[in-house]
Amino acid sequence: MTAPTPVIAGAGSDKLRGVSPDNVARGFVLYVGVDEDTAAAAGTSLAKLAQEIRAFAQTLVPQAQSYAAVAIAPSDAVGTPLDVVRSTFGDPTVGNRQRQEAVRIPAAEQRPSGVLIDLARREVHLDGDTLNLTFKEFELLNYLVENGTRTVGRDELLGGLWSNADEVPNERTIDVHIRRLRSKLGRLANTVRTVRGEGYRFYEHPEVVVWAAPEYSI
């Protein structure tokens, strides 16, 4: 549920540790850019390739747990096969090089309007600007978006988003976070609405787009 964290090699060893002292390396992601036709030409398939890589990792470290998923993207997706895979799975660093290589166009033409909620990258953009949401503000928005067909009560939000907190907050905490979230959403703040006596609800709006990375597991 978090973006990739930079790591550095430990002094005098090949072990990795997080840049922050509170973080440690817990695993890794291997992106492989290859389509089914290319895999077939090599006498294999994406599913078989993923399964064989997982099996090989298991022989190296029997205790290792693994999960494989195939990236599903439009056939005309822009970028190299590896860029498309990374983008599909929400790698927040893949856009850096693509933005540098993009054709320059007038600023007035490249700034989109409205709100883009990118669940894969855990980012929210308003009129082209990235909003500086806190972790809990995004979690609240994400929860409401994923349950957009119904009203979500305060008790459910507390139980779902603060269940592991050292100190359990009260309903006032939810109200404060919602108020700050709405403030950052600006003119489209009414997409997160209060249902009096029941809780909160996310409402669709023509200027609000929600993105999520499609995938299926193997």
Residue 201 confidence class, pLDDT cut points 50, 70, 90: very high
Q: Both 126 and 184 in a single domain?
A: yes
Query: What pLDDT is attached to residue 103?
Result: 43
Whether 15 contacts 9, CB under 8 Å: yes
In tens, the pLDDT along 101-125 reads: 444 445 444 556 788 888 888 889 9
The type of residue at 63 is Q
In whole angstroms, what is the distance from residue 189 CA to residue 149 CA? 18
Residue 140 exposed, middle or buried by CB count within 10 Å (0-12, 13-18, 19+): buried
Tell me how far CA of residue 43 lies from CA of 21, 39, 69, 79, 91, in angstroms.
45, 7, 20, 25, 29
Q: Both 95 and 121 in a single domain?
A: no
Residue 216 confidence class, pLDDT cut points 50, 70, 90: very low
Q: Both 148 and 98 in a single domain?
A: no
Q: Both 154 and 86 in a single domain?
A: no
Range of the domain at 76: 7-102
Whether residue 109 is contained in a domain is answered as no
Q: Both 128 and 161 in a single domain?
A: yes
Whether 113 contacts 127, CB under 8 Å: yes
Whether 115 contacts 160, CB under 8 Å: no
Per-residue 3-state assignment (H helix, E strand, C coil) for 49-109: HHHHHHHHHHHHCCCCCCCCEEECCCCCCCCCHHHHHHHHCCCCCCHHHHHHHCCCCCHHH
Mean pLDDT for 173-179 is: 88
Q: How many domains does the chain have?
A: 2
Name the pTM for this structure.
Answer: 0.49
Q: Give the H/E segment covering residue 130.
A: strand 129-130
Whether residue 179 is contained in a domain is answered as yes
Query: What pLDDT is attached to residue 182?
Result: 92
DSSP letter at 20 equals S
